[in-house]
Amino acid sequence: MRRPEKRISPGTVAARLAAVLAFCLVLRGLAELSGGVRALPEGVGAGVLALALPGASLSLPDAGTLALRGTLPGVSAAAPRASDAPPEDTAGGSGLYWSAPASGEEPEDPYAGALPTEDTAAGDTAPAPDTAPADTVSTEPVPETPERDAIGTTILGKGSGYLDAGGGIYVKNKSKYTPDFQKLLETPLKFSAAEGAAVLIIHTHGSEAYNPAGEDIYMASDPSRTEDTRFNVVRVGDELERVLTERGVTVIHDRELYDYPSYNGSYDRSLASIKAHLKENPEIRVVIDLHRDALEGDGKLYKTVADVGDKPCAQVMLICGSDSSGLKHPDWRENLTFALKIQHKMVTDYPTLARPLKLSQYRYNQHATTGSLIAEIGTNGNTLQEALAAVRYFGACLADVLTEK
């Protein structure tokens, strides 16, 4: 015989909510005594909800988290865990953290091999001090900050740690494979703009922003990040859309921010959107996930410099994924063919624009199509204007490859 459900009276609910509020106020007092709280252990929000309403779904932890945030402004949903990663691909906009370069070389990643075998950050690193930890999202705007001094560096890859793929192309190979790069470069693409192929521009980490300068001053939501799409990588995506459209390429630009309100799970959310776009627009053959990199170490901030044109210009880094992490990605070589053709075009037409192409062990959602890449436009040391200059040249090369010029 089924027992009747035990209902909680409104008075009991009110009393329990009052107890939770008192608990939060005590936490706030402790936080003020200890200098503030940045993050709480994972599950605290769900625990608070369960205390107030036993039997409530624990799939709604945000309710408890909101109760905490109401009394603890600035607290985030979970404490940062450097090695944590979503179950799916998690390329990062905070790509490489390294010491000062010597003779144009990029030192080996000090965090290499320190992360789990799951797909993690694009640079395979733990977050640097000036970037937002993977699970930590501030709820209060960071005051506007002036431009930071950044050391200019041009990364060409002609030192140790890179493979010479021929034709001026250098590759940082983090996969378990050694492809025949020249053979892939000579392999024809299976799509072109002439056949009606469309380009989807998306931003898994859309809040990534640049070094404030000139009129490009923004209210930061976290260090080097802003939800204001006039100043983050979404603005750079707008410029790429403009360049491609003027060249006759069909573009769909997804301007959503997938790293807010939580950085954790960004790639799961962007993958769901990519799949939805592909279903709605089967003509999509190319997916460009546009990011900006982060380069800093030893307390120093770096910006990439390309000697192109008559205006300051950042460099561009393409990242091509593979199945080396163990996740299914059978067609990654076709993506690599696409990347090599764009890389060759940049190296040929605009020497110094391209940083070495990175072949990663992770797949970064690139299993969705055979024309998927990550494009890192500049770094957090570059200004928005330097990134805009770089994406114009990158867009011209991408258009040439797609129109077979």
Could you give the C-alpha distances from 163 to 91, 219, 227, 333, in angstroms and in order? 22, 41, 38, 17
The whole-number pLDDT of residue 146 equals 74
Of the candidates 356, 379, 232, which has an alpha carbon nearest to the alpha carbon of residue 303? 379
- Domain total of the chain: 2
The whole-number pLDDT of residue 22 equals 64
Q: Identify the H or E element spanning 370.
A: none
Other C-beta atoms closer than 10 Å to the C-beta of 103 total 6
- Tokens 């776009």 label which residue? 277
Q: What domain range is 54 assigned to?
A: 10-71
- Rounded to whole angstroms, the Cα distance separating 123 from 135 reads 17
Residue 359 has pLDDT above 80, yes or no: yes
Q: Identify the H or E element spanning 376.
A: strand 372-379
Does residue 3 form part of some domain? no
202-223, pLDDT tens digit by residue? Answer: 999 999 999 999 999 999 988 9
- Tokens 């939800």 label which residue? 227
**Amino acid letter at 76?**
S
- Greater pLDDT, 380 or 61: 380
pTM > 0.75: yes or no: no
Residue 234 has pLDDT above 60, yes or no: yes
Question: Domain check: are 291 and 387 in the same one?
Answer: yes
The whole-number pLDDT of residue 393 equals 98
Strand partners, 200: 252, 287
Angle at 171 between CA 296 and CA 288, to 5 degrees: 75
Question: Domain check: are 302 and 202 in the same one?
Answer: yes
* Beta strand 372-379 pairing with 284-293: parallel
Question: Domain check: are 228 and 344 in the same one?
Answer: yes
Question: Domain check: are 240 and 375 in the same one?
Answer: yes
Question: Domain check: are 57 and 185 in the same one?
Answer: no
CATH (domain of 274): 3.40.630.40
Residue 180 has pLDDT above 50, yes or no: yes
**Amino acid letter at 328?**
K
pLDDT band for 141, please (50, 70, 90 cuts): low
Strand partners, 357: 171
321-356, pLDDT tens digit by residue? Answer: 999 999 999 999 999 999 999 999 999 999 999 999
Residue 29 has pLDDT above 60, yes or no: no
The whole-number pLDDT of residue 111 equals 25
The whole-number pLDDT of residue 43 equals 44
Listing DSSP states for 138-165 in one string gives -SSPBPP-PPPP-EEE-----STT-EEE
Residue 280 has pLDDT above 80, yes or no: yes
Domain ends where: 71, 86, 117? Answer: 71
**Most confidently modeled of 8-22, 90-104, 294-308?**
294-308
